[in-house]
Amino acid sequence: MSILDLAPIAEGVSTPEAMAETIKLAQLGDQLGYNRLWYAEHHGMPSIASSAPEILIGTAAAHTKGIRVGSGGVMLLNHPPLRVVEAYRTLEALHPGRIDLGLGRAPGGDGYAMRALRTGGGEEFAQYLSEMLAFEEGGFPAEHPFSRVAVAPGGISLPPLWLLGSSGSSAAAAGELGIGYAFAAHFSQAPAAPAFAAYRQEFKPTPAFPEPKALLCLSVLCAPTDEEARFLSSSQEVNWALLHTGQQRRLIAPEQAIDYPLTAQQRAINEHQSNLWIVGSPETVKAAISAQAEAAGADEVMITTTMHSYELRRRSYSLIANAFGLQPRA
């Protein structure tokens, strides 16, 4: 069991306060026995502060002891490949054996953010990935100008690589590369099982991954009762509807969200998406997570929780940890 943190910003909370909450969640996840903590990369979204995951990773790793910390993921098209190698070698050197490097092909923002970031087209992802691996492995031909680049810091390798997917198109590529594969079932309607099957079929062992590792990310909100969980989930419902109709704002409280005047279009958007949200008591949530993980053939489940109250979000992760019997760390 692992955690995906989008660093949400709730209404009535300052940005520094919201960022401080990422550290509190990291420390709690470490204490509760979660396996890893990843930060997403999103741009131009008022309710999400995770625009620079490498900074959050370094901060969280410095405030925890045992939990692995990584990116879920670096949107590679937004960054020069050399810069990614340098940043994550640095993190690995500072926190040996505790860093993950997840890579995604999406831009992590809308068209305006893409233009501001100078993001390349999706068809360039394979080129960026190949270049990043060549910098890491010294794989440029002698006549290539980049062969003369001394990647710094030297004497350290990249942390384990993961490829992120939401449709299955990258699953076979992850298998061929012998890296981990994470499926974004927290927002994708595509089934994860075929993607995981393709990943395992093409998998070639590597030192970092002697066996395939399939991670399933789910959207989960847990409270002591189903009724309370549904009430708290209303903030997520309004946030999702506004996000997909161009009316973004910070997360609103459930007391406001429960009666928020959504349009017919926005209600339809939520009806289409709500089947992906696992909401309920510890018993309800455990059964749903277990069923989805088994159906997909997942080796690991990563949970992301969207809630207005940071305290109750931490409680949600605690309830899930207790339901699954995670072993706390000293």
Per-residue confidence (pLDDT) for residue 44, from 0 to 100: 85
Per-residue confidence (pLDDT) for residue 109, from 0 to 100: 65
> Tell me: the pLDDT tens digits for 150-185?
999 999 999 999 999 998 889 999 999 999 999 999
> Tell me: the pLDDT tens digits for 14-41?
999 999 999 999 999 999 999 999 999 9
Residue 328 has pLDDT above 70, yes or no: yes
Residue 120 has pLDDT above 70, yes or no: no
**Domain-embedded: residue 267:** no
Per-residue confidence (pLDDT) for residue 124, from 0 to 100: 86
Domain count, the chain: 1
DSSP conformation class of 190 = S
Q: Indicate the average pLDDT of the chain.
A: 94
State pTM to two decimals: 0.94
Structural domain including 300 reads 2-225+285-323
**Domain-embedded: residue 56:** yes
**What is d(CA 4, CA 164) in angstroms, rounded to the nearest whole number?**
13
Strand partners, 303: 3, 218
**Domain-embedded: residue 252:** no
**Contact present, 164 and 184 (Cβ < 8 Å):** yes
**Domain-embedded: residue 264:** no
Residue 73 CB neighbours (<10 A): 26
Per-residue confidence (pLDDT) for residue 121, from 0 to 100: 61
Residue 112 has pLDDT above 90, yes or no: no
Find where tokens 């590369």 sit. 177
Per-residue confidence (pLDDT) for residue 53, from 0 to 100: 96
**Domain-embedded: residue 273:** no
Torsion of CA 201, 202, 205, 209, to 10 degrees: -80
DSSP conformation class of 125 = H
**Domain-embedded: residue 41:** yes
**Domain-embedded: residue 158:** yes
**Contact present, 230 and 328 (Cβ < 8 Å):** no
Residue 236 has pLDDT above 70, yes or no: yes
**Domain-embedded: residue 250:** no
* CATH number for 166: 3.20.20.30
Q: Which residue did the predictor score with more confidence, 119 or 246?
A: 246
